[in-house]
Amino acid sequence: MRKIKEVLRLHFDGGLGQRTISRCLGTSRTAVGDYLRRAAKADLGWPLPESLTDQDLERRLFPPPLSIPSAERQVPDWSHLHSELKRKGVTLMLLWEEYQADNPQAYRYSRFCDLYRQWRGKQKLSMRQVHKAGEKLFVDYAGQTLPIVDPHTGEISQAQIFVAVMGASNYTFAEATHSQDLSDWLGSHRRSFAFFGGVPQIVVPDNLKSGVSKACRYEPDLNPSYQDLAEHYGTAVIPARVRKPKDKAKAEVAVQIVERWILARLRNHTFFSLAEANAAITELLTDLNNRPFKKLPGSRKEAFESLDRPALQPLPATPYEFARWKKVRVNIDYHVEIDGHYYSVPYQLQGKQLDTRITAGSIECFHQRKRVASHPLSFSKGRHSTVAEHMPKAHQQYASWTPQRLINWAAQNGPQTAALVEAILASRRHPQQGFRSAMGLIRLAKIYGKDRLENACLLALDGQAATYKSVKSILKTGLDQQQPQLEQIQSIPIDHDNIRGGSYYH
């Protein structure tokens, strides 16, 4: 009380302002202003009446709040407020203001928050987190599997159970897949988005290899195909932290419910196909989502329709097409190798590393995130897919690698090697398509020696087998070291239909 009295004296008797009084007494200006407002409300000035004790002054400046019986206060509908909190932008302060506007005897904000937290603490642990509508989708695989019997062989395979649950409404999706590999993982995501009829802002998976290439607490590396799916649907993937099950508590509970409500009911059923199993899962899943909550009004389906569905982002015009990504390097023949087939790219990218996107029907090549080539997918191993526009014009920037240079290089080993390289280049529609084979042939001299390579090339030319694989097989089996056969071949002059002569390339 001494400091309050000094504030009143300096203000009324000394005529000082709030800022000056604050500096003099070492008190905040806000506190000084509050004391003066309370004194004005209590009709007090300076000097104070001599009969006014410190206790009387405190009662007049800080009167106790009016006591309102609890029976006269209207208790908020906590379950309704809890559901409202899941809507985007809704806060406890906003809900309290609406509650106070309708109830003159409403609780003050601090007491309102305390009562809400007490109510929330009595609910299930899974309800303690507040998830915004349409914000998060939690995905995981169940630990339990579903046996599928092959009707022809009787072999039993274990189908994996994919589970996805919306954070705000607990609306659940589940399906059986052959495995947990990348194609099934991404396919389940695509079908879950279609099931929900929209896309959440964030997908929260576990750190399984199909989704996360390298787990990290701060910056996990996503599988490129998983990142491709996220970009296609306009969502973000934020994996749960390693060994932090609370990050995906929704998924943990949803998996447990699916195992108890669906898989346990199917334990005595025998399924002969994945489609048959998924039909049974879908039927029980509908019952699960329509089942009323125990402690909250409505069901998962009703909560989803009122909360999550309006907040979901729309689905893209076309569903995601599964694609795998692979890093490749452009060889000297400006082709990249994918699954044994060779695809051309612009010759200027020779030696560069590219990202390739491989789908069910096409191959796309990217350099610095820009598409530089596209080809139909081919399963012909050892063959080439070459676009004429990718080839150099008159080899202006590619003069160091020409057919004649490879023939001259092979000639340093011997005439038979040069003849075979020339035959390889002549057998291709574009000589550049034979550059790899020619280089591989020349390098065999480092392994087997020049003499053996010359003899092997002679045998290959005579046997109408002018390929790199034929020469390598001859060297590996030692056919080039059989003298009688070599002497017979060496007496025959070299005359081969595929040999055009060095002048052809000038």
Each residue's pLDDT tens digit, 157-166 = 999 999 999 9
**Closest CA relative to residue 163, chosen from 34, 261, 60, 68:** 261
Q: Which pLDDT score is estimated for 374? A: 94
pLDDT in tens, 473-499: 989 888 878 765 555 555 445 555 655
Q: Which pLDDT score is estimated for 60? A: 81
**Closest CA relative to residue 186, chosen from 94, 324, 301, 60:** 324
The separation between CA 5 and the C-alpha centre of its own chain, rounded to angstroms, equals 66
| Residue whose entry in the numeric block shows the structure tokens 């049974």 | 280
Beta bridge partners of 324: 358
Residue 68 in tokens = 């309102």
pTM of the entire structure? 0.52
Q: Which pLDDT score is estimated for 97? A: 86
Across the range 418-443, mean pLDDT stands at 84
pLDDT in tens, 327-339: 999 998 899 999 9
> CA 467 to CA 483: how far, in whole Å?
22
Q: Are 348 and 354 in contact (CB under 8 A)?
A: no
> CA 137 to CA 153: how far, in whole Å?
39
Q: Are 142 and 163 in contact (CB under 8 A)?
A: yes
Across the range 430-459, mean pLDDT stands at 86
Across the range 402-421, mean pLDDT stands at 87
To the nearest 10°, the Cα dihedral for 98, 101, 105, 110? Answer: 40
Specify burial of residue 156 (Cβ count, 10 A radius: 0-12, 13-18, 19+).
exposed
> CA 204 to CA 397: how far, in whole Å?
49
Q: Is the peptide bond before 47 cis (omega within 30 degrees of 0)?
A: yes
Residue 155 pLDDT grade (very low, low, confident, very high; cuts 50, 70, 90)? very high
Residue 196 pLDDT grade (very low, low, confident, very high; cuts 50, 70, 90)? very high
Residue 126 has pLDDT above 50, yes or no: no
Beta bridge partners of 370: 367
Tell me the fold of 136-311: Nucleotidyltransferase; domain 5 (3.30.420)
pLDDT in tens, 112-125: 888 888 888 776 54
Segments making up each domain of the chain, as ranges: 2-61, 76-122, 136-311, 324-390, 403-505
Q: Which CA distances in Å does 454 have to 106, 130, 486, 492, 498?
A: 101, 77, 11, 15, 18
More confident residue, 500 or 133: 133
Residue 399 pLDDT grade (very low, low, confident, very high; cuts 50, 70, 90)? very low
